[in-house]
Chain A
Amino acid sequence: MTLNDSLSKNRESIINRWFDLIVDSYPQNTADFIKSEKNRFANPVGWIIKKGIEDIFEGIIQNKSDAQFFPILEDIIKIRAVQEFAPSEAISFIFLLKQALCEKVVIENNELFAIESKIDTLAGISLDIFMKCREKIEQLKANEDRVLKKSNS
């Protein structure tokens, strides 16, 4: 079985495990809530993480280009960028996929490198998006300060 086959076959269990690993980085009662509430509007963070990692996983199976991953990664990173995470913490959710894969599928040595470097690339893209989000936040702050100055002048 190729890696792609076993990823497809174990899709659900890998994604669920990956989701749990990400959510467990929140305090426990928050994590319990994020895992249990399924309504998109009652639990935006949980829904966006779940949808985001499903799309990332699909993208990996379909061998999408780096550029195609940008919009897929964006929604999760936007959340991480306002949740006070340091850059390394903000993108750590990508690496947790390695953990989930190790637990759920057997990866042959010859395929290990490919999947690992894919995940590392995604981490790099995530970091770029994170920095853009932070810039955007600074810009939003500066815009407001400008309006305030205008009204005080």
Chain B
Amino acid sequence: MSKERIKISEDLYDIMPSDYQDLVKSATYGKEDRGWKDIGNSKELIEQHSLCAGCPESMAFRYILASLPNPEDTVMVGSTGCTSLVFPMVAVHNIHSLFGNQNAIATGLKRALSVRFPGRTKDVVVLAGDGATVDIGLDMTLQAWFRQEKFTTICFDNELYANTGGQESGLMQKGFVAKMAPVGKLFDKVRLPEIARESGCHYVIQCTVSKPSLIEKVVRNAVMIAREIGPTYLQLYTPCILEIGKNSMEGLQEMRDSEKPTERFAYREYISEPAKQLLAEVSAKDKEKKAAAKQLASQGA
């Protein structure tokens, strides 16, 4: 599908608020090589957000939405938390699920979409906080992976329950003291990337959102692999600057500091054999396409 399906009725065009007119005019729906570089040159699929000023979740949202390979045929599933306040401003179909239920909802949705639209690629992407993914929703998260459900799970890991004022989460680091967890965490950060691998995910990435090009790559890979092979998981560090006592300008530095090779958010990836094969095929096709385009251009010149 492409922009052809997203048209405003001519006779009512002038009354449409400008954000919708802009979406139709210059959003990158249907653009094959869409990515973070479109930010600034085209209408983004997020209008505004209600997160705290400088919250890295907002950067993560912008990069992810710019990188989804098929936004017009994607349904995102969210859960309660700071992320849920952003979804009403997102121009990709999305469903808000009861806290923790996101992977169960996504399972039914993905299956229903494959029955309803057998000939069309429909991607499902879950996007939820660490509390939703790892604590209250862990059962749903794992069961979907065990069952090899074909969708991507993205966890915005800010290492606590931010939206409710800073309670302890399974992904919080050992010893961390938060506003509503004054004793300090007594056990280690849950190793969800390892659990994801053992539970059957074919592509598992842990990183921060400091580099848009990296987010573009991992989001594209995760969606492609989920489409063809099975579950994929991205754990992205999006620090809650409010809860760790940083100001609006300090989120990026916090992520850079935490992704150093010895730190807890050093880049880590796991790719299963079938997923490796798929990525190699995709990359070979891309190269072929680029070579053909180059040849065409040189012939034209």
A and B part of one assembly? no
